[in-house]
Amino acid sequence: MTVTDSPFLRACRREPVPHTPVWFMRQAGRSLPEYRKAREGIAMLDSCMRPELVTEITLQPVRRHQVDAAVLFSDIVIPLRAIGVDLDIRPGVGPVVARPFRSRADLERLRPLEPDDVKYVSEAVRMLTGELGDTPLIGFAGAPFTLASYLVEGGPSRHHEHTKALMYGDPALWAELLDRLAGITSAFLDVQIEAGASAVQLFDSWVGALSPADYRRAVLPASARVLGAVADRGVPRIHFGVGTGELLGLLAEAGADVVGVDWRVPLDEAARRVGLGRALQGNLDPAVLFAPREAVEAEADRVLKAAAGLPGHVFNLGHGVLPDTDPDALTRLVAYVHERTAR
């Protein structure tokens, strides 16, 4: 087998697979004791800038769970920090921006990202592709809307009120902000592909806060620019958000090869909304992993049944692994999906 023939990449291309491939968003992270040990005394963002540590943390879930793909250990705010935005990731909180983006003058703080700004990322990707053998490495970036939400709110937000105030109140500035972020995001994905990433995922985690009409008008053009910029690189593009039931068709339209689905829409229905020509990724509720083994297996069966008629399915959770998840439950789930779908 080669990376190109791996079940994960075959499923992304909607080709027949020996078993349904599995990986988990946030598979590297706090659910693993070996991760907590490796990170001891090192701040989150600092750890993302150390290629050897990034390599070790990225490999941990691959060794432990036998997942079909690795996902680079990094964060969606890394490219912003790399161009000099003063931000930090607070444990248990998330990204916090010292001076939120609120006016035209703030555009000046968002210069384009140069590959040299994130040398530690290309180095980590190169080290990883060497270590991973036939296992594909997924690179990723935050989509313009989700990045804008952190920049404008100054941190995690439930209602995105400042972000929406800017979007509705100053559409021209909003469009410029998203356009700059699209440039930064495209450059960040490009660095990872150039260094050897086999696929990329665009995380628009919080875009489910928008109506379809607002998404189409105010966000889709920027996300489409990002996905278009990497369309000809020969790597599948996964487009994911949470609470996107009403947006699935538009996420596909923005230019994805694979659409990531959260747990709220069954995959057969998601396939109807997404339309022909795309694979789907998802969509077990991450909270299900706290239930007894039999319940996890029953819910996994439900996901597999809904996906049974689809030409391409990558098994994943509907959002990231929750920090208190029992790692053994994840290992068992991978084995279960492999076993149930072996052909």
- Where along the sequence are the contacts to ligand CP3 (CB under 6 A)? 25-30, 39, 44, 71, 73-76, 89, 91-95, 140, 156, 203, 205, 320
150 is catalytic: yes
Of 97, 95, 33, the residue nearest 64 (C-alpha): 33
Q: Phi and psi dihedrals of 97, rounded to 5?
A: -105, 125
Q: Of 64, 68, 117, 150, which residue is the catalytic one?
A: 150
Residue 147 Cβ vs ligand CP3, minimum distance, rounded to whole Å: 9
Q: Of 26, 109, 264, 340, which residue is the catalytic one?
A: 26
State which residue, 202 or 218, has the beta carbon closest to ligand CP3. 202
State which residue, 75 or 190, has the beta carbon closest to ligand CP3. 75
Residue 23 Cβ vs ligand CP3, minimum distance, rounded to whole Å: 9
Q: Phi and psi dihedrals of 234, rounded to 5?
A: 75, 15
301 is catalytic: no
75 is catalytic: yes
8-state DSSP, 278: -
Residue 157 Cβ vs ligand CP3, minimum distance, rounded to whole Å: 11
Q: Of 13, 30, 102, 302, which residue is the catalytic one?
A: 30
Helix, strand or coil, per DSSP, at residue 232: helix
Residue 224 Cβ vs ligand CP3, minimum distance, rounded to whole Å: 19
- Identify whether the C-beta of residue 80 lies closer than 8 Å to the C-beta of residue 147: yes
CA distance 244 to 256: 14
**What tokens appear for 66 in the block?**
């036998």
Helix, strand or coil, per DSSP, at residue 93: coil
State which residue, 208 or 266, has the beta carbon closest to ligand CP3. 208
39 is catalytic: yes
State which residue, 71 or 227, has the beta carbon closest to ligand CP3. 71
Query: Is the Cα torsion angle 221, 227, 229, 232 positive or negative in sign?
Result: negative
State which residue, 14 or 56, has the beta carbon closest to ligand CP3. 56
Residue 39 Cβ vs ligand CP3, minimum distance, rounded to whole Å: 6
Helix, strand or coil, per DSSP, at residue 315: strand
300: Cα within 13 Å, side-chain hemisphere: 25
**What tokens appear for 158 in the block?**
């439930």
The residues assigned a catalytic role are 26, 30, 39, 75, 150
